[in-house]
Amino acid sequence: MESTLRRTWAEIDLDALAHNYHKLRERIGADVKFLGVVKADAYGHGSVQVSHLLQELGADYLAVSSIDEAVELRLNDVTMPILILGHTPKEQVSRLIKYHITQAVSCEAKALEYSEEAVKCGGILKIHIKVDTGMSRLGYLCDGDHFETGVAGICHGCSLPGLDAEGIFTHFAVSDEPGEDCKKYTEHQFDLFMRVIEEVEKRLGRKFALRHCANTGAVARYPETFLDMVRPGLLLYGYGEFADELGLLPVMTLKTTVSTIKIYPAGTAISYGGIFKTEHTTRIGVVPYGYADGFFRCLSNRCALMTKEGPAPQRGKICMDMCMIDLTGKMGVDVGSEVEVFGKQNSINDLAALAGTIPYELTCAVSKRVPRIYIRNGKVVEKELLLRG
């Protein structure tokens, strides 16, 4: 469906994405493979469009969260390898094999289920073994007293019929956090991961084709963890504290427009709850961007949107479909004027910090009623609205 409204929209700069990819390729080196994380609709940027570009640029792998995300890519001409990081029910194994999708295996019970189903349908399921080295989420437990049982379970899973154990991976919990304690914890996770790999490969008598553990924080801070493949997420899209250090560019710019302007006298309460009252004659603009579009209500009265005449403080509580900004003294900003929510002029990092969250959450929160406009070589190449037509 194509929107005819000039309301609120997200501009996706494919040139910035390509720039980030090339910068990260330079950093990791020619011998390390590149996995682009495109789960959650590529963090709100559009998984199909992002995957097409990564495929064109020569990326080696993609990662998604579910089989639905993976099949969406396959049905839209994405042919490169795809790894599902999350759980897939055993009933879906035949589809995994049909669409040539790689599945993460996080415990022995899942390995047994996947093996049984693969044998039933007469196919081979490619898998990557997930090791829990300290994230305490998914994966074979291998730390401390669990080392022997964890290694034995991984070896058993890799030897089951119908499964092709191409890779092994883990996930760092604090690689993006500062401080000596976080550094030691990441080094412990990496050391444990390498010990697990060494022991498993020795017992199996063969090497894993792909060993990977470097997420965004590790790509930026721990080059020793690059191994065979890296998995940058936030970095690929040009956000976070490491982006500037590495010369990366923000890919998404979220824009809206001024729909109404009203002049209020001193003492006027603005929006629900009256948490903001004008102290003098105030020029208030209404913009069609609210929490249903992805504007967190916790940011009410705490942030500013960027106009062509500088930042305009947001006033009063953010509503479902709109919010108010202070345009006092900005007489060049009128009805129809563009306003940047975040992007090159209004950092998403600052907005995320005010909300007490990470940039990921803000881009993922951009709702389906916000059209995505894809730009390449300075021109609009595609428009997408996720609402049903």
| Residues identified as active-site | 39, 272
Residue with tokens 């995994």: 96
Name residue 326's beta-bridge partners.
284
CA separation for the pair 24, 61 (Å, rounded):
15
| DSSP secondary structure string for all residues of 290-314 | -TTTT--GGGTTT-EEEETTEEEEE
Query: For residue 21, what are its two tokens?
Result: 């990819």
| DSSP secondary structure string for all residues of 94-109 | HHHHHTT-EEEE-SHH
Sign of the torsion angle spanned by Cα atoms 169, 59, 248, 85: negative
For residue 372, say whether it is annotated as part of any ligand binding site. no
Report which of 15, 14, 21, 23 is spatially closest to residue 247, judged by C-alpha positions: 23
**Long-range contacts of range 130-133, CB-CB < 8 Å, 24 or more positions apart?**
130/104, 130/105, 130/106, 130/169, 130/170, 130/171, 131/168, 131/169, 131/170, 131/193, 131/196, 132/106, 132/170, 133/170, 133/188, 133/189, 133/190, 133/192, 133/193, 133/196
Residue 293, number of CB atoms within 10 A of its CB? 24
Report which of 235, 199, 197 is spatially closest to residue 213, judged by C-alpha positions: 197
Q: Name 31's Cβ contacts closer than 8 Å, sequence gap at least 6.
A: none
Helices (H) and strands (E) in the chain, counts: 12, 21
Query: For residue 235, what are its two tokens?
Result: 């970095």
DSSP state letter for 274: G
CA separation for the pair 88, 159 (Å, rounded):
20
Query: For residue 256, what are its two tokens?
Result: 């809206």
| DSSP secondary structure string for all residues of 165-205 | EEEEE---SSTTS-SHHHHHHHHHHHHHHHHHHHHHHHHHT
DSSP state letter for 77: T
Task: Give the amino acid at 202.
Answer: K
For residue 137, say whether it is annotated as part of any ligand binding site. yes
Please report, in range form, the residues annotated as the binding site.
137, 320
Residue numbers in the known binding site for substrate are: 137, 320
